[in-house]
Structure 1
Amino acid sequence: MSEKYQIQIGGDLEKALTGKYELNIKAVLEEGWQNTRTTKWIMLQGILLSVALSYAMLTFLLPTHNLVELASLETQINPLWAMVITILITPIMTAVQMMGIKHSLGGQSQFNDLFRFIPNILVLGVTELATGLLVNVGLSLLILPGFYLLIATSFAIQLVAERQLSPLKAIWYSIRTVNHKLWQFGLLFILFVALMLLCVFTLGLAYIWVGPFYYNVKGILYRNIFGTLIKFETHAGQSKEKTKDESVFDA
């Protein structure tokens, strides 16, 4: 006979919505960098898999023999197909984001983890499309609202994947939470924009570190702000202490 139970580590969703959480940028960056040193390769596999899937779809839709030409034709793709590509890669990129949370709890990721959210492709895809639409509308207005929405909605996918919230509720909760400490999140955003520029100057080489670093930092922020539920199963004759030692992150 077994008994299932769960514990919460880190912050709290209800407190997050009222701004009752700490955001120590220096500590988050230091922990994120430490995690990246040992987890960057598995996260890069997910990122590269998403890029490969995107370009495979573009090659099929826009036949060409040149990557530069393909990049220029990308903007000409039918919006409907652009939505399809977004939906297809969203579960993989969601898995990368959830790896960041797992690493913040001391867990290790495996290649199979990249496919665990495929069954949730529809709800995750809708969430990604909705946030993308909001950001694009903001950018088309005065640019600054677009940057604000990009920052404010950044936790929506994680809330859908980890808390099984609806897309609209996840977006709203993310915006409410970020608004309480917007200037601090803005500083982090500016830092990663600078790091992305470094990637451009190094012809993408720096992204080997910057990409996984970004997602590990997001995972730590999520843990500290919203908290993470970890599920356990205790079998007959087994202590909860032993179960905790053997358990793994299960969003």
Structure 2
Amino acid sequence: MNDKVEKEFNVGGNIDTALSGQYELKAANIIKEAWQLTTKNFLSFSPTIVVLIILQIAIFMIALKLQLGDTSILFTLLDGSADSTQIESIIQSVIVANFSYEIISAPLYAGVCLMAMSHATGFKTKTNHIFKGLHFTIPVMLVTLMGLILQGLAGAILPFLSLYISMAFSNSVFLVCEKRMTPMRSLLLSFRAVNKKLLTVAAVYALILVMFFAAALFYGIGFILVLPFFFHVKGIIYRDMFGIRMKVINSGGNGTPPNNNNKQSQVFDA
């Protein structure tokens, strides 16, 4: 007789410790583990990153074409033949297209975040797991929209303030998908938790910013490593801050501990 035995447990921190700051978060440990996860999952995770980039570029180009009508007008910026009115129109179109692609591609971005989070708990993923974020399409798009608006307002005051807001809201997508929080509450809790460990989180993201800059200098080739590393950093920080609910399902029969002949699976309930 085979009986399924389900056990739920938490990996990492929890909401209470996240808001109180009563947990350990070291920049060196985060960087080391993120690099290990990046190399370990490189072959399986990198194709997902490529898919995300291709889809985001496609969404951006479609949005830009809808704004400009004829994208060949962009070449007028390169040859210097564009007048001030055309330049202003192009800049506005690029801003709108960038805003649009971030909102529309947010569920796919969330799917990649969830995959990195799974790696941080020892799970392997497949490329099609990028679509897991589609289960949370509306709340993820809303939380992304709210975050972008607040970043824009902050950036209008001070450019670097926008970077701070982006970092402070970095856990919001995870909270929406993994903790099933509302967009507004996820933004607030992420903001409060990050500020409890602001120096550590800022140090890690400062390194990532430098890595992005270095990757761009090498014709973007370095992004194949930097982007997976970035997502793994996000997953590790979220795990250590808020914790991740896990479910273990043992099919061993009669409730006995699993052995080599038992079927055991660990499921992330997202």
Q: TM-score range by the shorter chain?
A: 0.7 to 0.9
Structure 1 residues without counterparts, runs of 5 or longer? none
CA apart distance, 1:118: 1.2
Q: Is the 8 A contact 2:120 2:236 kept in 1?
A: yes
Structure 2 residues without counterparts, runs of 5 or longer? 79-86
Q: Is the 8 A contact 2:4 2:249 kept in 1?
A: yes
Report the residue type matching 1:55 in the other structure: F
Q: 1:74 to 1:122 in 2, by over 3 A?
A: farther
Report the residue type matching 1:64 in the other structure: T
Where does residue 54 of structure 1 map in the other structure? 59
Tell me the percent identity: 25
1:204-245 Cα distance to aligned partner (Å, 9 max, x none): 011010000010111111111111001234558264753894
Where does residue 22 of structure 1 map in the other structure? 24
Matches of 2:211 and 2:97, distance apart in 1: 30
Where does residue 193 of structure 1 map in the other structure? 209
Matches of 2:137 and 2:173, distance apart in 1: 11
Instruction: Tell me the SS of whatever aligns to 2:189.
Output: helix
CA apart distance, 1:57: 2.1
Where does residue 269 of structure 2 map in the other structure? 250
Q: Number of matched residues?
A: 251
1:163-183 Cα distance to aligned partner (Å, 9 max, x none): 010001000100110111111
Matches of 1:247 and 1:240, distance apart in 2: 17
1:151-172 Cα distance to aligned partner (Å, 9 max, x none): 1111111111110100010001
CA apart distance, 1:93: 0.6
Structure 1 residue ranges (4+ consecutive) displaced by more than 6 angstroms after TM superposition: 66-74, 78-81
Output the TM-score relative to the length of structure 2: 0.82
Report which stretch shifted further, 111-120 or 156-165: 111-120
Matches of 2:74 and 2:94, distance apart in 1: 19
CA RMSD of aligned residues (A): 2.8
Q: Does 1:44 align with 2:49?
A: yes
CA apart distance, 1:51: 2.4
Q: Is the 8 A contact 1:53 1:89 kept in 2?
A: no
- 2:151 pairs with 118, 135, 155, which one? 135
- 1:92 pairs with 108, 126, 130, which one? 108
